[in-house]
Amino acid sequence: MAGKQGAKPPTPKPKGALSRQGSKTKKEGISWNMLVLISAVLAVISYFTYTEFFDGPHLRKLQPPIKGLEINRKTWGSYRPHTYFGLRTRDPRSPLFGIMWYEQPNIVQRPHIRHWCDQGDGLKSYGWYAADARTFGRQIITDRSANLNTDWISDGEAWSARVTVEPKRRYTVVLYLVAQDSQCKFRIGNHLRDPISGKTILFGDIKLTIDVTNEKELLHSALVWDDEVRLDNLNDLILMNTRALESENGLIYQLGQQKPFHEGRFIAVQFNIMTKTTFEIAFSTRRSQPKTGPRFTQELLKREREFNTRFGEAFNLERKNYNDVELTMAKVALSNMLGGIGYWHGYNKVV
């Protein structure tokens, strides 16, 4: 009895102790499963990220490297689309040829020159109707008081152009040649038939000749400039050296030489016309001579036919039941797209 009295009674287990232990084990199991799931998701994401961005083909230096388009940088083209008509090569040192014109005012005022393509000039229409920008181009320009046709072809380092102007009033046409390098110089002869000559870095010795159909019925003047020439300021350079003179037929606007330059980077020849006039301009080097006269006409028509043939083979619009008006519109659209390709080099300021 005494032993029984010294024995400790068994400690009763708290109610619910077994259930709490089971709950703890369950929570630990849930945490472990969640960890495994998260690890699996991260592994999948890592795999796809690696295969997408890092496991692709490695970029290696090509042997041999890809060469750019090989072009003859001495070949002329209509790569001055910001002008109504202008020619240059795809070389930063290329001389630039262009044309300006304006209606002769009857009073003393600042003439409105057409040179850069500008909606403010009020031209009815202008654009290439057959052109590839590289070998030939044909364009019609309809001004308010005159119609102009410009045709040109390239011939190696040489080129030739035919500009026909049919004015309804007194008009002025200015043909110019400008160098982009201060080392290039041009000279002009004493007579209209004397060529403009010069020496350029790109071509060496060059000549520019101008033949006019009705030479005896027009007045001409010239400007040689060797001070700073800004390409975006050619209009103002012409106007700055233009003077109005009294004559029997009223005021006549002509170029006047303010400074006695014998040679310069900029040369302009101005023609005052009253009737239909055709100018044939030819640029030549020692290595290339341009086609002029009947040979120019034959080559121009030949290249236009080749252009039409290539256009038909490329698009087959006739087989797709397009009518003649739609075919003509398509050729004009393509010609203006190609004629709108330009070459530019240097810095530009956008305002």
Confidence tier at 94 by pLDDT (50, 70, 90): very high
Give residue 186's pLDDT: 96
Give residue 5's pLDDT: 46
- What is the three-class DSSP state of 338? helix
Strands of 266-273's sheet, edge to edge? 76-77, 86-89, 96-103, 171-178, 266-273, 219-225
| CATH no., domain 117-340 | 2.70.98.110
pLDDT in tens, 195-204: 999 999 999 9
Centre a 10 Å sphere on the Cβ of residue 74 and count the other Cβ atoms it contains.
Answer: 17
pLDDT in tens, 264-312: 999 999 999 999 999 999 999 999 999 999 999 999 999 999 999 999 9
pLDDT in tens, 22-72: 444 444 555 777 777 777 777 777 766 665 555 555 555 555 655 656 778
Map out the domains of the chain as residue ranges.
117-340
- Phi/psi for 262 (5° steps) reads -90, -25
pLDDT in tens, 242-256: 999 888 778 899 998
